[in-house]
Amino acid sequence: MGLAQRRVSRLSNNQEPTIPPPENVFPANLDVAELLASGWRPSAFRQFILKVHSRCDLACPGCYVYEMADQSWRTQPRQMSPAVVASTAFRIAEHARTHRLPDIDVILHGGEPLLAGPESLEHIVRTIRGACSEVGTRVRVSMQTNAVRLDETYLKLFHDLEIRVGVSLDGDAVAHDRTRVFANGRGSHERVSRALRLLEGPFHHLFAGLLCTIDLRNDPIATYRALLEFDPPSVDFLLPHGNWAAPPPWRDADSTATPYADWLIRIFDEWRETPRFRTEIRLFHEIIRLLSGGDSRSESVGLSPASMVVVETNGAIEQSDILKSAFEGASATGLHVLTAAFDDALGHPAIAARQLGVRALGPECRRCDLVNTCGGGLYAHRFRPATGFLGPSVYCPDLYRLISYIRERHARDTARLEGRV
């Protein structure tokens, strides 16, 4: 059975495509003109996620791009055309000049970005840096990869081009190979480990960190220690995607149980008890920063305006691709780099909604004492067909429990360090 056929059968077996919400729910009903008249102004994009290849060499069940509600990958070209690359570079430089941005981030993403091949990746990076250098903007480039194809040839190129690499790893071989599998069902841990060994040596300066999707079947401490074996500078734990209409695995939407918080708290305690934190755990760092009155730099928590935008392989300007887990077309804006500026996207109701902070949340979240830290959680996890994206998150009990725990523990540790207890 071909990969595409296999993916169709998985979707039809496990998940009914979710119907888009009516036009009168948030954020489709948001009046951006009224917002602008009231004095609100959008924030410039600073993070450009480029879908440089639309296919993947793994076939992970539950992947939000291929296995969930939105199946638009089927109509995407495999790779960005030279015309789309040129227009994307022009639009990024145009946006940087308009908003006088001294630096921006470009993230090479997919599908699997390494499938684009070294020549294409070099062309994309040089074209964007060339366009942005003319407007005085520095471009930091990183990539998120499954690392199956990551080898010395790529790493030498990434060293020359200063591309940092984030790798998806879900734990030890048993944990990782539960889900990160090739189309024939074989696990990818061995190939990924081999690539990660290369990042431990002379290429360590290119290592951005590990991304681990939580699987409650895996022991949290064993998972955390397996990730640390590769000496990552940072680790990000991701909640599996889902929403109120299609809840994530082991998350009963109506239950007050907190299985994900309980899993993460075990890691938080282990991480916290390490004399010097060996690695940054992004979710914990962000929560502590927010509890201390800082801004969020992650879309998982907090109320900071979202500053990222996606360019699809065909040149379409889109919102976060995580929204593909909600319903067909959820991430679309109807704009394209050949015909629209990124400033046009800033006026799109769905993008404006992600820059409104607490004003984009429903009454439950607004009343919550943790709203400034939680921010309703990841936007895609708030989706409910009847009310759109007003929240709360389908992970609400987990988020409340995790943040409360970190708040108490952080306050206790800080008091002890300051000699107050």
Residues contributing to the site for ligand SF4 (CB under 6 A)? 364-365, 368, 370-371, 374, 376-377, 391-393, 396, 399-400
Specify burial of residue 339 (Cβ count, 10 A radius: 0-12, 13-18, 19+). Answer: exposed
Cβ closest to ligand SF4, residue 139 vs residue 214 = 214
What is the closest distance, in whole angstroms, from the C-beta atom of residue 242 to ligand SF4 in the complex? 14
Least distance to ligand SF4 from the beta carbon of 377, Å? Answer: 5
Beta strand ranges found along 332-386 (DSSP E): 332-336
Beta-bridge partners for 212: 237
Q: How far is the CB of 256 from ligand SF4 (least distance, A)?
A: 11
Which C-beta is closer to ligand SF4: that of 143 or that of 402?
402
Which pair of tokens denotes residue 405?
Answer: 């725990």
Q: To the nearest whole angstrom, how small is the minimum distance from the Cβ of residue 374 to ligand SF4?
A: 3
For residue 234, the SS3 value is strand
Q: Which of 402, 403, 404, 378 is nearest to 391 (CA)?
A: 378
* E strand or H helix at 324: none
Q: How far is the CB of 381 from ligand SF4 (least distance, A)?
A: 9
Residue (58 or 368) nearer to ligand SF4, CB: 368
d(C-alpha 335, C-alpha 345), whole Å: 7
Pairwise CA distance, residues 381 & 375, whole Å: 12
Compare residues 62 and 392 and give the one whose CB is closer to ligand SF4: 392
State the residue for tokens 């060499």. Answer: 57
What is the closest distance, in whole angstroms, from the C-beta atom of residue 386 to ligand SF4 in the complex? Answer: 17
Number of Cβ within 10 Å of residue 43's Cβ equals 13
As a whole number of Å, the CA-based R_g of the chain is 21
Those residues whose C-beta lies under 8 Å from the C-beta of residue 184, and which sit 6 or more positions away, are none
Q: How far is the CB of 397 from ligand SF4 (least distance, A)?
A: 8
Cα–Cα distance measured from residue 395 to residue 241, given in angstroms and rounded to the nearest whole number? 10
Tell me whether residue 154 or residue 395 sits nearer to ligand SF4 (CB atom).
395
Q: How many CA atoms lie within 13 A of 253 on its CB side?
A: 16
Query: In this structure, what token pair is assigned to residue 44?
Result: 């410039």
C-alpha 158/C-alpha 161 separation (Å) is 5
**Nearer to ligand SF4 by C-beta: 332 or 374?**
374
CB of 66 or CB of 383, closer to ligand SF4 = 383
**Per residue, what are the HEC states of 61-82?**
CCCCCCCCCCCHHHHCCCECCH
Nearer residue to ligand SF4 within complex by CB, 44 or 365? 365
Instruction: Between 14 and 256, name the residue whose CB sits nearer to ligand SF4.
Output: 256
Q: How far is the CB of 363 from ligand SF4 (least distance, A)?
A: 10
In angstroms, what is the minimal distance from the CB of 382 to ligand SF4? 7
Judged by DSSP in three states, 167 sits in: strand
The token pair that represents 88 in the structure block: 């994307």
